[in-house]
Amino acid sequence: MNLLIDYGTGNLHSVKAAFQRIGIPLTLSNNPDEIETADFVILPGVGAFGDAMDRLNQSGIASALKKRFEYSRPLLGICLGMQLLFESSDEAPGISGLGLIKGHFKKLTPRPDAPKIPHMGSNTLDLANDNVLNYSGNWAYFVHSYALTYTEPGVVLFTTHYGEAIPAVVRKNSAAGFQFHPEKSGQSGETMLKTMITQLFEGGLNGIISSD
């Protein structure tokens, strides 16, 4: 079973529809037991870091996600969902994220070539290290005000540029994250999403992606 976590925040309808189009049917769930053991889980997110973590902690979903990571079960975070995989954010001082990956998110600063915050719009992806994915130059749609500042070596696979290099795709073991919105990135976003997911989880999604 493939789950889309419903914890009271996130653009659930468009995410579910996009995954359906690429052959990954998702079931909405807020059940920690289901989330812990599902084949594949998507953690979406639109809103504030602190409020989202409060919802995840109170519902028991945070503990379930940590157990998923411990047992190497595939987990993908999208936008705020990616940020929640890390330790902390300027948006919510003193509030701990899931801490699956080391790193902190800082608030973006307006710059001459990036005057508007939040960063909103389509930007190209740039290869950040020698990984197996090859999506440099592809366009992806971003809406965010915070960016990852530091993390462990090899975690950042792609960046985008908005006044500075911003991590756009991350992965550590069975957890991966997209800072952009693949469900809002058009046909190229869906194609990129399907191939990226297959490769990010290195064969761990056998039987998850439909052949239909």
Share above pLDDT 90 across residues of the chain, in percent, rounded to a whole number = 58
Q: Using CA atoms, how far apart are residues 126 and 128, in angstroms rounded to an integer?
A: 6
Question: Over the stretch 49-75, which tens digit does the pLDDT of each residue have?
Answer: 999 999 999 999 999 999 999 999 999
Dihedral sign for Cα atoms in the order 84, 85, 90, 93: positive
Structure tokens of 162?
């908005």
Q: Using CA atoms, how far apart are residues 38 and 91, in angstroms rounded to an integer?
A: 30
**Residue among 13, 34, 181, 190 flagged as catalytic:** 181
* Among 33-42, 115-124, 125-134, 198-207, the least confident range: 198-207
**What is the arithmetic mean of pLDDT over 7-15?**
85
Q: Using CA atoms, how far apart are residues 107 and 89, in angstroms rounded to an integer?
A: 8
Q: Determine if residue 163 is left, alpha or beta; phi over 0 gives left, psi from -120 to 50 gives alpha, anything else beta.
A: left
Residue 95 has pLDDT above 50, yes or no: yes
Residue 161 annotated to the active site: no
Using DSSP's 3-state secondary structure scheme, residue 15 falls into: helix
Q: Calculate the CA dihedral of residues 147, 158, 138, 107 and round it to 10 degrees.
A: 10
**What is the arithmetic mean of pLDDT over 9-21?**
86
* Residue 148 near residue 173 (C-beta atoms within 8 A): no
**Residue among 36, 91, 144, 183 flagged as catalytic:** 183
Going from the C-alpha of 123 to that of each of 113, 119, 120, 128, 189, the distances in angstroms are 13, 10, 9, 15, 12
**Domains detected in the chain:** 2-200 (3.40.50.880)
**Residue among 36, 79, 91, 144 flagged as catalytic:** 79
Residue 164 annotated to the active site: no
Residue 190 annotated to the active site: no
Sorting pLDDT into bands at 50, 70 and 90, what band is 37? Answer: very high
The reported pLDDT for the residue numbered 211 is: 45
Residue 197 has pLDDT above 90, yes or no: no
Structure tokens of 184?
């809002």
